[in-house]
Amino acid sequence: MTNNVHGIGINTGSVNPYGNQTKGSEAKPEEKPTENTPAAPQNSQVKAEDVLSYMAQQAVTVNPKVSAPRTYDVSKYVTPEQAARIAGFVTSFEDQVAQGLIAINGMDELAGLSEQAKYEIAAKMV
pLDDT in tens, 15-66: 555 665 555 555 566 666 666 666 666 677 888 888 888 888 876 666 667 7
Q: Give the total number of structural domains in the chain.
A: 1
Of 74, 71, 115, residue with least CA distance to 97: 115
Of 54, 62, 125, 53, residue with least CA distance to 96: 125
Residue 21 domain flag: no
Q: Which amino acid is at 49?
A: E
Q: CA Rg, the chain, in Å?
A: 35
Residue 123 domain flag: yes
90 close to 123: Cβ distance less than 8 angstroms:
no
Residue 89 domain flag: yes
Going by pLDDT thresholds of 50, 70 and 90, the confidence category of residue 110 is: confident
Residue 25 domain flag: no
pTM above 0.85, yes or no: no
Residue 63 domain flag: no
Look up the domain containing 94 and give its range.
78-126
